[in-house]
Chains A and B, each alone.
Chain A
């Protein structure tokens, strides 16, 4: 990709690239790529700024990964997509139903990527996504120990939010919906749960070690001691080496609540984060609360939150934003972007103060990332 901002958009019906002019004011939509494919995640490699990986499947065909090494001009399929090993005769083997999440590896490991799948599996590529191998420490180590606590949600159970500590390539975090947050300090060989203080209202035992439902986990790139998560049961912050999450979502307005899918961090300020709340009451409509969409921002690590909805519809907008579908660029001021379940992309050039719609009439949006 070139030096201009481009949004990589994954939808239920294919992928799109939305390119901005340098001022981030004029946008040009390009695509669709792989029309009709269910694109869960489309991610650029910040290390080489050329490689793009796309997690895709169709209604008929099984999951795979498509790759571009020329900024989306041409694509090829992974030679060996993420797949579990063939089970021994008489044993029940697992099969990947969808590749749900893609994360570039550490800056010191060019070509390394991680993929999270449904059912929960972790895969690693050492060659820019051409071939993928199962991560034994997760798939054969952690998973058998915790699988009784893993509950599929409406779209199955997924591994997501694979976060690599920028100061240590062997230090990883990930989330499982439903399963919890886990940490590895030895390059994904062993994993420990990291869920103290997190509510799990849907389970009878509030003090479980795992079995929680993190929707998105985020590690601050400048201060990797700080993590945030938007959970099925609230918004949380954790400052390492501590292990007790703090429910900062309790400081959200009570009529909005602190349920949602995404959480996005300011690229430089560890105290600043944005969320997009949804209605998690009664039967869980998963729409904007009261049909009035809004981003909420904290600038003090979650002690207070401000509603940011200038430019957004003020009534009867019953959409929401999926967990991969909200992101920030590295600009100053930071540009923010989200894609909706109704196929719109919204942008803010002033860190959320004002918003404008920069695309509409797209399919249901699953992911929006910045290249």
Chain B
């Protein structure tokens, strides 16, 4: 299973869980799984054109992933980061 680290702005979707496990062979697939489990979450971090929102970043095993096509393996760690967004 993929370990997913959740940033605080998404705690309202995960019920406060900071870390969850899910599956998916790409970031897109993983987000589909997360959105079924936590309805509405995907739209808050990825727009309707599948572009990662400006102040959100995805890191896979510590490396930034630039698109949802990024492939994943079962033992990966995905960190969703709410980047700096101003005052």
Contacts of B82 in A (CB 8 A): 60-61
Q: Contact between B48 and A84 (Cβ–Cβ < 8 Å)?
A: yes
The reply on B51 being an interface residue by CB < 8 A is yes
Q: Contact between A83 and B48 (Cβ–Cβ < 8 Å)?
A: yes
**Closest A residue by C-beta to B9:** A60
Complexed CA–CA distance, A87 and B50 (Å): 10
**Closest B residue by C-beta to A84:** B48
How far, in Å, is B75 (CB) from chain A's closest CB? 28
The reply on B53 being an interface residue by CB < 8 A is yes
Q: A64-B40, A64-B43, A83-B43 are in contact. Are A93 and B9 (CB under 8 A)?
A: no
**Closest B residue by C-beta to A82:** B48
Q: Contact between B43 and A79 (Cβ–Cβ < 8 Å)?
A: no
Contacts of B53 in A (CB 8 A): 60-62
The reply on A96 being an interface residue by CB < 8 A is yes
Contacts of A62 in B (CB 8 A): 43-47, 53
**Closest B residue by C-beta to A93:** B49
**Closest B residue by C-beta to A76:** B40
Q: A60-B82, A62-B43 are in contact. Are A87 and B49 (CB under 8 A)?
A: yes
Complexed CA–CA distance, A60 and B13 (Å): 14
Which chain B residues (27-56) contact chain A, with CB distance < 8 Å?
39-40, 43-51, 53, 55-56
Complexed CA–CA distance, A309 and B24 (Å): 62
The reply on A339 being an interface residue by CB < 8 A is no
**Closest B residue by C-beta to A37:** B9
Q: A64-B43, A83-B43 are in contact. Are A59 and B85 (CB under 8 A)?
A: yes
How far, in Å, is B59 (CB) from chain A's closest CB? 15
Contacts of A83 in B (CB 8 A): 43, 47-48
Contacts of B49 in A (CB 8 A): 84, 86-87, 93-95
Q: Contact between A58 and B48 (Cβ–Cβ < 8 Å)?
A: no
**Closest A residue by C-beta to B83:** A60
Q: Contact between A95 and B48 (Cβ–Cβ < 8 Å)?
A: yes
Complexed CA–CA distance, A62 and B40 (Å): 10
How far, in Å, is A119 (CB) from chain B's closest CB? 12
**Closest B residue by C-beta to A83:** B48
The reply on A77 being an interface residue by CB < 8 A is yes
Complexed CA–CA distance, A61 and B46 (Å): 9
How far, in Å, is A19 (CB) from chain B's closest CB? 25
0/1 string, A27-70, CB within 8 A of B gives 1: 00000000000000000000000000000001111101000000
Q: A60, A77, A79, A86: which contacts B48 (Cβ < 8 A)?
A: A86
Contacts of A95 in B (CB 8 A): 47-49, 51
Complexed CA–CA distance, A95 and B10 (Å): 20
The reply on A81 being an interface residue by CB < 8 A is yes
- B residues bordering A, Cβ < 8 Å? 7, 9-10, 39-40, 43-51, 53, 55-56, 82-83, 85-86
The 4 closest A-B CB pairs, nearest first, are A59-B85, A95-B47, A61-B44, A60-B82
Known: A64-B43, A93-B49, A96-B48. 4 other contacts (CB 8 A): A60-B56, A60-B85, A62-B43, A77-B40
